[in-house]
Amino acid sequence: MPSIPPRPSQPSRPPSQPPLSDLPPQASRLTRFGSAVGVALVASVLASGPAALRVTSSLEARGIWPGLAAATLVPMIVSVLTLRQARVGLRAFSLGDGRKRSWSLFLWVGFVFFTLLAFGAMLRATTHHHALAGATFAILTGAAAIVLVPISLRLGSIAARWQSENRRVLLAAFVVVLLAGALGVMLVLARILPGGASGATPAVSANLVDVLAFAMAALLASRPEFEARRTLALFGPPVAAALFIFGVRYLSASPIIGVTVDQRAPAFGPAVSILAAPDRAPETGSTGRAQQR
């Protein structure tokens, strides 16, 4: 009997090529853009939440949240599209280990950022010699950046292994712990920075919270899982357009809103001033001076 020839073995994938699960989903440009608008809409609402709470507490303006979300929408769309392209570029240099490198880089940047904030606040509150404080800050932050490299690599490898093994509960708990730690550090720094010897104003704390909220929302919204979502691409742009129109009309309705936003959420001040009616700018400034008096 003729022997059955052995089945040819499938060629192995080169180790430098990223796994198939790391490749971005195939979708049309229109779908990718629509999903970017949809996920940016959700991220804008989340990122403008802390500022909306601060403005609402000082001004009876219940509709300020859609207005601030509308002011954040266009920068969030640009950030999401930019970060998506940045992920593609980083994946090209990942050498087949993109998940570990991405997690490690994300963790290292976050750890270094909060270390810089903590050291800066501590030195500002305890040191009055600017040259000595600058030299100490440079030495401590440089040493901390080096020490945090192996820690970030270790935590990044653990998170990448959980992601590859579909341990979603552990991975979600890990992300929640990171976000809770970041929120706790922001709240502690918000209490430390405005007071006493630090010499900072409440606007510094407000900008810190708003910028970090925007950055975290943009990073989460640029995840490749949202790139081919047809639901976001279908409903995202019309809802975003409706929110943008409503927010612009609300922000331009009263000059007092712009003054309160400049005082309570300075990071949103330029966008609100652009979206508001130009002929209300002098009235806004006079109202602000009148309130300060």
Q: Of 47-51, 162-166, 168-172, 288-292, which gets the smallest average pLDDT?
A: 288-292
Q: Which residue has the higher pLDDT, 60 or 75?
A: 75
Q: Of 24-28, 161-165, 277-281, which gets the smallest average pLDDT?
A: 277-281
Q: DSSP string covering 159-203, please? A: HHHHHHTT-HHHHHHHHHHHHHHHHHHHHHHHHHTTSGGG---HH
Find the mean pLDDT for residues 184-197. Answer: 61
Most confident among 10-24, 123-137, 174-188, 221-235 (mean pLDDT)? 221-235
In angstroms, the CA 261 to CA 267 distance is 9
What percentage of the chain carries pLDDT values higher than 70? 71
- Residue 292 confidence (pLDDT): 43
The overall average pLDDT reported for the chain is 75
Place 41 in a pLDDT band, splitting at 50, 70 and 90: very high
DSSP character at residue 293 = -
Task: Name the pTM for this structure.
Answer: 0.61
Q: Which residue has the higher pLDDT, 138 or 188?
A: 138
- Residue 10 confidence (pLDDT): 47
Q: DSSP string covering 89-150, please? A: HHHHTSTT-HHHHHHHHHHHHHHHHHHHHHHHHHHHHH---HHHHHHHHHHHHHHHHHHHHH
- Residue 103 confidence (pLDDT): 81
Find the mean pLDDT for residues 227-245. Answer: 88
Q: Of 23-27, 147-151, 158-162, which gets the smallest average pLDDT?
A: 23-27
Whether the predicted pLDDT of 289 surpasses 60: no
Q: Which residue has the higher pLDDT, 96 or 154?
A: 154
Whether the predicted pLDDT of 8 surpasses 60: no
Find the mean pLDDT for residues 229-233. Answer: 84
Find the mean pLDDT for residues 205-231. Answer: 82
- Residue 202 confidence (pLDDT): 65
Place 178 in a pLDDT band, splitting at 50, 70 and 90: confident
Place 93 in a pLDDT band, splitting at 50, 70 and 90: low
Whether the predicted pLDDT of 268 surpasses 60: yes
Alpha-carbon distance values, 154 to 143, 144, 145, 167 (Å): 18, 16, 15, 17
